Amino acid sequence: MRVYWAPHTRSLRALWMLEEIAAPYERVRVDLQAGGQRQPAFRAINPMEKVPALECDGAHVAESGAIVAFLAEKFPQAGLAPPVGDVLRGRYLQWLFFSPVIEMAITQKFARLEMPEGSAGWGSFDRVFKVLSEILSASPYMLGETFSAADVLIASDLHFVIDVFKLLEPRPEFSAYLERCRSRAAFLRAQKIDADGV
C-alpha cells in the first residue's frame, strides 16, 4: 500500500489508521505548496487534487473517511469495525458518516453562516457538539467501550475544532476522549511522522 500525504493536513487520519492496522505501507509526500496535487500523475489518483489518497493493489481511494472505512474492512483482524451483519455496525456507520456532518458544522461556524437549523443537515454547530458531548460523557468511545475506526475520524475532528481552529472551548469529556485516543501507540507514531514530515 502507498499513501499520498502532506504534513499538518487531513492526511493524519490516513496515517493514524495505517498505523492502527499495522500493515506495511509506503509514504509519498505531495508538496501542496509547489502544486504537486495538481500534477497529472496525482490527478489520476485523486481528481479532487487533495490529500490523503491511498493506493492498494493497484486501486485508488481518496477522501479520508473512505480511506479509514476501507482500511477497517480490508484488515478486519485489527478489530476496528463491527463485522457486516452485526447490528452494532449501523451505529458504527452512523458515526463514520457523522464526520462530514461535523465538518459542515465547523465550516458554518468558521464562515459565520446563518442557516435555519431545520434545513441544515447538521442542525447547528451547538447541536452537533451537544450530541458528541452527551455520548462521550457517557462512554469512553463513540461505540461505547471499544475504540473503532469511527473514533479515528471523530477524534480528528475534535482535535481540529478545539486545538487547531479554537472554535470550541475545551470541555472535560472532550479532553478526556482526546487524551484516550491520542495516547494510542498508533496515533503517537502517526503524529511523529506528521511532525517529521517524512
Instruction: Convert residues 25-44 into a mask of x (bound to ligand GSH by CB under 6 A) and - (unbound).
Output: -------x----x-------
Q: How many CA within 13 A on the CB side of residue 160?
A: 18
Question: How far from the centroid of its chain's Cα atoms is residue 40's Cα?
Answer: 26
Does the protein bind ligand GSH through residue 109 (CB under 6 A)?
A: no
Task: Check: CB of residue 184 under 8 Å from CB of residue 147.
Answer: yes
Task: Candidates 4, 5, 10, 150: give the one binding ligand GSH (CB under 6 A).
Answer: 10
Does the protein bind ligand GSH through residue 78 (CB under 6 A)?
A: no
Between the alpha carbon of residue 19 and those of residues 25, 74, 140, 157, the distances in Å are 9, 14, 21, 18
> How many whole angstroms separate alpha carbon 136 and alpha carbon 97?
17
Angle at 19 between CA 66 and CA 135, to 5 degrees: 60
Does the protein bind ligand GSH through residue 151 (CB under 6 A)?
A: no
Question: In this chain, which stretch among 45-53, 107-115, 122-130, 144-152 interacts with ligand GSH, using CB under 6 A?
Answer: 45-53
Does the protein bind ligand GSH through residue 159 (CB under 6 A)?
A: no
Nearer to ligand GSH, 40 or 116 (CB): 40
Task: Candidates 1, 2, 7, 9: give the one binding ligand GSH (CB under 6 A).
Answer: 9
Does the protein bind ligand GSH through residue 64 (CB under 6 A)?
A: yes
Task: Candidates 50, 105, 158, 181: give the one binding ligand GSH (CB under 6 A).
Answer: 50
> How many whole angstroms separate alpha carbon 85 and alpha carbon 196?
40
Does the protein bind ligand GSH through residue 63 (CB under 6 A)?
A: yes
CA neighbor of 158 nearest in space, from 117, 118, 98:
98
Q: Report in angstroms how near the CB of residue 87 gets to ligand GSH at its nearest.
A: 28
> How many whole angstroms separate alpha carbon 143 and alpha carbon 151?
8
CA neighbor of 187 nearest in space, from 152, 160, 161:
152
Q: Report in angstroms how near the CB of residue 139 gets to ligand GSH at its nearest.
A: 25
Residues within the interface to ligand GSH (CB under 6 A): 9-10, 32, 37, 49-52, 63-65
